[in-house]
Amino acid sequence: MSIIREYRPRHATPAVAIGNVKMGGGNPVVVQAMTDTDTADEVATAIQCAQLVSAGAEMVRITVNTPRAAQAVAGVRARLDDMGIDAPLIGDFHFNGHKLLPQYPACAAALAKYRINPGNVGRGDKHDAQFTILIEQALQHNKAVRIGVNWGSVDQELLATLMDENARSKQPQSAQVVLQQALVQSAVQSAQFAEQLGLAADKIVLSCKTSRIPDLLAVYRELAQTPYALHLGLTEAGMGLRAVAATASALGILLAEGIGDTIRASLTPPAGGDRAEEVQLCCALLQSMGLRAFAPQVTACPGCGRTTSDFFRRLAADIQTHISAKLPQWKEQHPGVENLTIAVMGCIVNGPGESRHADIGISLPGSGENPVAPVYIDGEKTTALKGEHIAEEFITLIEEYIARRF
Ligand code: SF4
């Protein structure tokens, strides 16, 4: 019988300082998010950054696409500082970063990292000159750079060259494999060029995003052979459950292989939807994999024909609501509370067992069972609740447990 193995050891990378956040080098995997406001709207952008940080984002990327956006960046930073938010801002540059960064030094200084897409830095002989300006800006302002390749904007000249070479080869690869090679080569060659220009390896982060999971896995397994810190993301994941499933499975596989130093979920929110869902997904993914802890976890069974009512579902929802409401206060007063585990189970089949595995758990009575709900604390049955106020009494027991333990 084979023994289930732990995750693979983390890919060895240098620690990269992004403002006050360190990623890579064995540091915890960092959650990041991106705004969808017009960066030129300084107030709206600062508010959305604050919302993303409040949801758990530890770094926030904003697009810097126009002179007006570049002019607003320092103001966004100042507004966040005034709110007591020190999460670093990352500038996303495409096409004109080589002009905006030198023209707006306050923008260059306010950002903690520049994201550069080698596929749109400039074509032909302009590419190297414009890429050089971007790296010189990073050197001048002592900033990190993410070389972020995306299959939607991969360097077309490099891709054409590789396709030609492949066509002449005796054993040609599929177009898909050549595209994967182009993504990796674009990122790695750009990183090596940046190092030649004087940027240290611990100032460089790489990403190569695709929206197809097999491509993403292949590309990141190649990138994990390089010495650079890696930003993971499935690009254009889409909307709804499919996007959540695709993102979690792609990133989960790579994280289990020890690959990835920061993650972002590229979810498309529904109209009027909450942008912070992409952050909640990243936090939930890392916590469910046991890689980070952000908030107490509630384990609840799905319910089945043995449950007499949906009471246990409502109890699980009430507890989740209570946790969300109290978490900011708990975090201040009870350090480590994010590691708490709670079980809410529907009947005697798995209820006592699962409740014993949690720090505190309740096993509600199923159909035909004695109408009492045993409560387990640290693996021991301590009491049994019954009557109208099981929810309130269990929440009180949770509060008492937190006060005692954290
Ligand atoms: S614990 Fe009981 S109620 Fe919950 S899913 Fe299992 S058998 Fe059904």
Is the four-CA dihedral 224, 230, 236, 239 of positive or negative sign?
positive
**What DSSP letter does each residue of 191-215 carry, written as one string?**
HHHHHHTT--GGGEEEEEE-SSHHH
Judged against a pLDDT cut of 60, whether residue 1 lies above it is answered with no
256 in contact with ligand 1, CB cutoff 6 A? no
Residue 308: what pLDDT?
Answer: 63
Residue 4: what pLDDT?
Answer: 61
Mean pLDDT in the chain?
A: 94
Residue 351 Cα, ligand 1 centroid: separation in angstroms? 7
Residue 2: what pLDDT?
Answer: 55
Query: What is the tens place of the pLDDT at every residue in 31-86?
Result: 999 999 999 999 999 999 999 999 999 999 999 999 999 999 999 999 999 999 99
366 in contact with ligand 1, CB cutoff 6 A? yes
| Of 299, 304, 369, best ligand 1 pocket probe by most atoms within 8 Å of the beta carbon | 304
Residue 280: what pLDDT?
Answer: 96
Residue 367: what pLDDT?
Answer: 82
307 in contact with ligand 1, CB cutoff 6 A? yes
Query: Of all protein residues, whose CA lies closest to atom 1 belonging to ligand 1?
Result: 350
Separation CA 93–CA 37 (nearest Å):
15
Q: What percent of the chain has pLDDT over 70?
A: 98
Residue 366 Cα, ligand 1 centroid: separation in angstroms? 8
304 in contact with ligand 1, CB cutoff 6 A? yes
Residue 291 Cα, ligand 1 centroid: separation in angstroms? 28
Residue 328's contacts (CB-CB under 8 Å, 6 or more residues apart) are none
Residue 321 Cα, ligand 1 centroid: separation in angstroms? 22
Residue 370 Cα, ligand 1 centroid: separation in angstroms? 15
Judged against a pLDDT cut of 90, whether residue 267 lies above it is answered with yes
Is the four-CA dihedral 318, 321, 327, 329 of positive or negative sign?
negative
- Identify the band that residue 6 occupies on the pLDDT scale cut at 50, 70 and 90: confident
Query: What is the tens place of the pLDDT at every residue in 76-123?
Result: 999 999 999 999 999 999 999 999 999 999 999 999 999 999 988 888
Judged against a pLDDT cut of 80, whether residue 285 lies above it is answered with yes
Query: Of all protein residues, whose CA lies closest to atom 2 belonging to ligand 1?
Result: 347
- Identify the band that residue 160 occupies on the pLDDT scale cut at 50, 70 and 90: very high
55 in contact with ligand 1, CB cutoff 6 A? no
Q: Are 62 and 89 in contact (CB under 8 A)?
A: yes
In the structure encoding, which two tokens stand for residue 246, read together? 């695709």
Query: What is the tens place of the pLDDT at every residue in 299-348?
Result: 999 889 888 667 878 888 999 999 999 999 999 999 999 999 999 999 88
* Residues pairing with 300 in the sheet: 344
| Of 349, 364, 376, best ligand 1 pocket probe by most atoms within 8 Å of the beta carbon | 349
Judged against a pLDDT cut of 60, whether residue 278 lies above it is answered with yes
48 in contact with ligand 1, CB cutoff 6 A? no
Separation CA 30–CA 16 (nearest Å):
11
302 in contact with ligand 1, CB cutoff 6 A? yes
Residue 355: what pLDDT?
Answer: 95
Query: Of all protein residues, whose CA lies closest to atom 5 belonging to ligand 1?
Result: 303
- Identify the band that residue 131 occupies on the pLDDT scale cut at 50, 70 and 90: very high
Span of 104-108, 143-147, 161-165 with lowest mean pLDDT: 161-165
88 in contact with ligand 1, CB cutoff 6 A? no
Task: List the one residue out of 131, 144, 130, 118 whose CA is nearest residue 32.
Answer: 144
- Identify the band that residue 383 occupies on the pLDDT scale cut at 50, 70 and 90: very high
Mean local confidence (pLDDT), 159-184:
94
350 in contact with ligand 1, CB cutoff 6 A? yes
Bigger pLDDT: 102 vs 370: 102
Q: Are 197 and 139 in contact (CB under 8 A)?
A: yes
349 in contact with ligand 1, CB cutoff 6 A? yes
